[in-house]
Amino acid sequence: MADLVHILNGPNLNLLGRREPDTYGHVTLADIERRCQQAATRLGLAIAFRQRNGEGEIVADIHDAIQTGAAAIIINAAAYTHTSVAIHDALRAFDGLIIEVHLSNIHARESFRHKSLIAPLADGIIAGLGADGYELALQALAWRLSKDDSIEI
């Protein structure tokens, strides 16, 4: 059975492709989901891909990852990255690998975006590489989960 990875997306990411294309590009969240599914299949992973605008819904999705025994979480908590103690605390209860992903380079933006409440819990952080960051996160997880140096990334 393939390792399960939950890919969780926060508020306003459902507007990708229309919202601030100079910052986030023209790719849609559906495009990202499609690319993640293709990458996961190629890497022998299974994914559950979700987007929520509410903080409590993201916490519930993390609880679901715990309950389903997911091996890893890729999370782009968007604005909640910088504010949500609830998401931080839910992630603390997760025993698997965590990779934080951001489409933009949060450190090159407004100063309030420089602090991540998720970063101290993350096994890795990918920021500023656009939609490619999700695929890179899946590749890194496949490598970490396989513990096989021969896997091609």
Q: In this structure, are strands 124-127 and 97-102 parallel, antiparallel, or unpaired?
A: parallel
Q: How far apart are CA 89 and CA 151, in angstroms?
A: 33
Q: Whose structure tokens read 């656009």?
A: 130
Active-site hit among 6, 88, 102, 134: 102
Q: What radius of gyration do the chain's Cα atoms show?
A: 14
Q: Which residues contact 74 (CB under 8 A, 6 or more apart)?
A: 5, 6, 7, 8, 98, 99, 101, 134, 137, 138, 141
Residue 8 and residue 50 in contact, taking contact as beta carbons nearer than 8 Å = yes
Of the residues 24, 80, 88, 134, which is catalytic?
24
CB 142 within 8 A of CB 116: no
* Residue 102: active-site member: yes
Residues noted as catalytic? 24, 102
